[in-house]
Amino acid sequence: QALQVSEPVLETVVHCTRCALSRQQWANFAWRLSDVLEPLAHLTVSPHHRPALARASAVLQLLRALSLLTWQGGGQDEGRPEHAAHCVLALVNLADCPAALPLFREARVEGSDGMWERHLVG
């Protein structure tokens, strides 16, 4: 049986992922992608969590992480293959959520840094 986590907790996990990507401290902790990607991937396994993760912009953060890990070479301990695998697993799970599909369609690579941004279509 999957662990059921509240929406505020899911939002916090996505926020920690955002902090790891921008290398910003939050809650007096310097988050790293290795700290957040595996738990985030496990949380996406539950269909119950997927809509809340989609609303929290997990899709965009995972695309950014995958970009950093694969195209930009990561950094420090960030470039390990299992980290990219966690991103792919989470993205595949989120692609099964109707609430996340518009986020996949709206995501675009922007700027010289190759980071993903959300663009509203239409």
Using a cut of 0.85, tell me whether the model's pTM lies above it.
no
Average pLDDT in the chain: 83
Cβ–Cβ under 8 Å, residues 16 and 31: yes
Integer CA distances (angstroms), 32 to 18, 28, 61, 87, 94, in order: 10, 13, 13, 14, 22
The predicted-structure confidence for 73-116, as pLDDT tens digits, reads as follows: 555 455 577 888 999 999 999 999 999 999 888 887 665 555 55
